[in-house]
Structure 1
Amino acid sequence: MKNTKDLIRVINLKYNTLSKGQKRLAAYILENYDRAVFFTATKLGKEVGVSESTVVRFAMGLGFKGYPEFQKALEELVSKRLSRMEKMEVTYGHNSQSQLLENVLTSDMEKIKHTMEHLDAKAFELAADILIGAKRVYIIGLRSCAPLASFLGFYLNMILDHVLVIDTNSTTEIFEQMMRINSDDVIVGISFPRYSMRTLKALEFANNRNAKVITLTNDIHAPINLYSSCNLVAKSDMVSIVDSLVAPLSVINALVVGICMKQKNKVIHNLEELERIWNEYQIYNNDEMNYLGNHLMEEFGPGE
């Protein structure tokens, strides 16, 4: 089914052609679509009292390729009718605090698993190579993505030269900071729904200057991928008032580790130099210094 806007109308039109179990599903969804959207096929079947296979056949009978496509149509329907707080109430409203903790952590684990199974390994390795080979690295992420950009910038600054996390207070300042970007450079754009127009414009500017563009977002068809040559896709959602960005953070962790492993000697040199500076200027106490030193040796081994 290409057009999911008329899902309720389609269910109503096909109701008389459905089996008894499928009619029970249809009735439940028409009355509880705001809850059904968060159910797996198995959970929806248990809720209604039918088998998982009946749920799948129901979705296909409506014209969908399978349950995931049907669920996406439900998501589009709900997104137009529920506020964030209402979505959070539907998902977590009946949970105790312990259940809430378990459900949120389980949901985040599922997002990491989904990302691990679907992330393009070639794109991931290409991103690491591009970052290593760039003269300058620019990083941009706005609103809830700003901590991700800051985290990536913090660690890349330890292992690469000339890394700049773009200050995003105003559109004018963004372009001023990117004024010298060129074909020797790369920009990493991080954007998740709701997508930032300022991030999109920054990537367009970089692309027009022939800089390489790496994106980290939630969908291969996300707007910022229009200008990217390397797309990293990580699962996220906005069910609650808090954006779930656990999977993108894991991808960033993996990217930093991947870069470290590709140029161990340089990383060890940089970190040993940082440790010397920290020690000279008493940035950390001795216990912390010893821990850091031992940790570095365990991670990378002695320098060659």
Structure 2
Amino acid sequence: MQDVQKIIIKKLPDYSKNQRILANYILENLQTIPLLSVNNLANKSGVSSATVVRFSRVLGYQGYLEFRNHLIKLLKESLSPAEKFKATISKEEEYQDSLHQIAHQVVQNINLSLQQNNLQDFKHIVSHLREADNIYCIGLGISKYLAEIMAYQLKLYLKKSFAMSGDSLSFPEQIMLLTPKDLLIAFSFPPYSRQTVEAAQLAHQRKIPVVSFTDKKTAPVAQYSLHVLIAKTDNILFTNSLGAISMLINALVTEIALTEEKKVLKGLRTIDKYVNDPRYFY
């Protein structure tokens, strides 16, 4: 919301008299604007509906609907986890079937993630992974387990991936052992771990390419990343929904497998012998 306020204030000299009246009303009532239609806002602020539309365009939107939708999105993002959960359970009749509701949320997250990731960038990431001498995966909290899954999946096909644990050596100490021929995969989702972001920053400073998995292009880790994979993680609980992240990990590993046919076949034959050994598996 603060970014919108700054834009409105910055453009004050460009407004007409009525647009200035509207701007003042919006700045004083920004939290309630997403609830108002164009006519409601016009009536409450004392200007015409046409002024509301023109004002939205001055701000850089196609019209008031786009402006309001942007405010709705920002308002949702600004809610605390407790407020989000409270808003969810207040609509009890809509959430009686948690199984289908959460499944719907995961599908929505996956579809939004597909829209925000570029196929060409995806192909470039695959190329960087194949060319890297070693691949190191990093994350804290739930992202630690995502990093371990990523490293495990890649190791099946590339045999040069590792998860940074941070148990014996700190992340900066481990980053200092990497070279520009290596690659760092950073998992960073809200609440963003400062240690993960600083590790990505150090890698970036040392010319080590960074590929990040995060929830938006403005996430702290993105500025230090050569490539960013966006995974939407909206959830009614405090924890991040992992469906879209799992989809991207699986897609990335599958693409690598399809481009490394000989290595994959050799690895699968080895695994096949192992899993068919009655000493280890039934």
The alpha carbon displacement at 1:145 in A equals 1.7
Correspondence for 1:220 = 217
The 3-state SS of whatever aligns with 1:247 is helix
Letter in 1 for 2:270: E
Structure 2 counterpart of 1:192: 189
Shift of 1:58: 11
Partner of 1:99: 97
Unaligned runs of 5+ in 1: 15-19, 28-55, 286-304
The answer (yes or no) to whether the contact 2:137–2:184 under 8 Å persists in 1 is yes
The 1-side partners of 2:82 and 2:144 are apart by 23
Tell me the alpha carbon deviations over residues 165-215 of structure 1, each in whole angstroms, 9 at most, x when there is no partner: 011458x52233334200111010111222221111111222233222111
Partner amino acid for 2:190? Answer: P
Q: Which moved more, 1:270-279 or 1:190-199?
A: 270-279
Matched with 2:170 is 173
Label 1:61 to 1:263 Cα distance change in 2 as closer, same or farther (>3 A): closer
Q: Percent identity?
A: 24
Question: 2 CA distance for matches of 1:57 and 1:101?
Answer: 41
TM-score (norm 2): 0.75
Q: Which amino acid letter does the alignment assign opposite residue 276 of structure 1?
A: K
| Pick aligned residue for 2:80 from 80, 83, 104 | 83
TM superposition outliers: structure 1 runs of 4+ over 6 Å: 11-14, 56-59
Residue type of the alignment partner of 1:196: S
Q: TM-score, normalised by structure 1?
A: 0.70
Q: State the AA in 1 paired with 2:279.
A: Q
CA distance in 2, matches of 1:60, 1:157: 51
Matched, 1:268 2:247: no
Cα distance change, pair 106–60 in 1 and its aligned pair in 2 (3 A):
farther
Structure 2 residues without counterparts, runs of 5 or longer? 9-22, 31-35, 44-51
Once the 2 structures are TM-superposed, how far is the Cα of residue 104 of structure 1 from its aligned partner?
2.1
Question: SS of the residue aligned with 2:170?
Answer: helix
Residue type of the alignment partner of 1:182: T
Per the alignment, residue 302 of structure 1 pairs with none
The CA distance in 2 between the partners of 1:139 and 1:163, in whole Å, is: 8
User: Compared with structure 1, are the counterparts of its residues 2 and 158 closer, same or farther at alpha carbon in structure 2 (3 Å cutoff)?
Assistant: same
Shift of 1:263: 0.7
Listed as ranges, the matches of 1:204-283 within 5 Å are: 204-237=201-234, 239-280=236-277, 282-283=279-280
**Relative to structure 1, is the Cα distance of residues 151 and 13 closer, same or farther in structure 2, using a 3 angstrom cutoff?**
closer
Corresponding residue pairs, total: 252
- 1:98 shift after superposition: 4.3
Question: Partner residue of 2:26?
Answer: 10
8 Å contact 1:131–1:137 — kept in the other structure?
yes
Q: In structure 1, how many angstroms separate the alpha carbons of the residues matched to 2:41 and 2:245? A: 35
Q: 2:119: which partner in 1?
A: 121
Match for 1:123: what amino acid?
D
Alpha-carbon deviation of 1:270? 0.7
Deviations 1:37-91 (A, max 9, x none): xxxxxxxxxxxxxxxxxxx9699489572545533433444555x4312211212
Partner Cα separation in structure 2 for residue 176 and residue 2 of structure 1: 37
* Cα distance in 1 for residues equivalent to 2:195 and 2:138: 9
CA distance in 1, matches of 2:77, 2:54: 22
Q: Given the superposition, is the C-alpha separation of residues 226 and 130 from structure 1 closer, same or farther in structure 2, using an over 3 Å criterion? A: same
How far off is 1:243 after superposition? Answer: 1.2
CA RMSD of superposed structures (Å): 3.5
2:124 aligned partner, one-letter code: L
**Alignment partner of 1:148 out of 146, 152, 168:** 146
Q: Is the 8 A contact 2:157 2:260 kept in 1?
A: no
Secondary structure at the counterpart of residue 148 of structure 1: helix
Within 1, Cα distance between the matches of 2:255 and 2:248? 10
Q: Which amino acid aligns with 1:265?
A: K
CA distance in 1: counterparts of 2:24 and 2:88, whole angstroms: 21
Following superposition, the deviation at residue 228 of structure 1 comes to 1.5
Q: In the alignment, residue 158 of structure 1 is paired with which amino acid?
A: L
Contact 1:4 1:76 in 2 (8 A): no
Q: Which amino acid aligns with 2:81?
A: R
1:11 and 1:26 in contact (8 A); partners too: no
> Matches of 1:93 and 1:3 in 2, distance apart?
29
Q: Residues 238 and 25 from structure 1, CA distance in 2 versus in 1: closer, same or farther, beyond 3 angstroms?
A: farther
1:277, CA displacement in angstroms?
A: 2.9
Which position in structure 2 is the counterpart of 1:51?
none
